[in-house]
Amino acid sequence: MCVDANAGARAQARAQAAAKDARYASEGLKFFNRETTLARTQNQNVIGLSRDQSDAYAQAVATLGKGRKRVEDATRAYFSTMGVDEGGRSRRFGKLKYQALLQKNAEVESTIQNVLGRNQAYANQASTRKYQAAQARAREALGVRPEYGAPVMMPPTNRLGGALQIASQVVGIASGVQGLFNP
């Protein structure tokens, strides 16, 4: 059996490789945990987007209902103040009240168009931007995937050096023993 001269260096390289493998496995587990957190966060972000869009739509529908209520009230007021046309009146009788009703209807329709059109688009854009910012924060929290890096180099075996060392020790012992017998 020959002694390996690089046995200590090889054992140290094995220990370094084992430590590197353990660090990589640990970082990989941490990354996996961050990935699961990312998946949960993305699901929560989608729910938040849906809720924001739903809230904006509910607000628009509520405004639409208020507008229709104002039209109803204006129409009711118009017809309650309107007298019966029994003839003998001017052709323009009640025209101002009718124009006021039409103006009230136009105001409400304009408001409804703004709420369901432009304002709804603003709300949808705001909720989309909020969602995208939350998704970006979640991806940023994920971090980078762990990398193994350069491998640990294993030094070669040096059995010849070990054999030569043993041979030199044997020669040294033999010359010492020979010096004892040959004074």
Task: Give the helix/strand (H/E) hosting 116.
Answer: none
Long-range residue pairs from 136-139, CB within 8 A, at least 24 positions apart, any chain: 138/38, 138/41, 138/42, 138/45, 139/38
In terms of Cα–Cα distance, which of 44, 53, 45 is closest to 122? 53
What is the Cα gyration radius of the chain?
45
Task: Give the helix/strand (H/E) hosting 181.
Answer: helix 159-181
For the record, the structure tokens of 32 come out as 């996996």
User: Distance between CA 7 and CA 13 in Å, rounded?
Assistant: 10
**Furthest-apart CA atoms within the chain: distance in Å:** 164
Residues of the chain with pLDDT under 70: 1-3, 5, 83-89, 159-163, 179, 181-183
In terms of Cα–Cα distance, which of 149, 162, 125 is closest to 7? 162
pLDDT digits (tens, 9 = 90+) for 10-52: 899 999 999 999 999 999 999 999 999 999 999 999 999 999 9
pLDDT above 90: percentage of residues in the chain: 45
User: Distance between CA 177 and CA 171 in Å, rounded?
Assistant: 10
User: Distance between CA 32 and CA 139 in Å, rounded?
Assistant: 13
For the record, the structure tokens of 158 come out as 């040096």
Length of the chain: 183
Q: What is the predicted pLDDT for the residue at 114? A: 85
- In this structure, the number of other CB atoms found within 10 A of the CB of residue 10 comes to 15
What pTM was computed for the model?
0.64
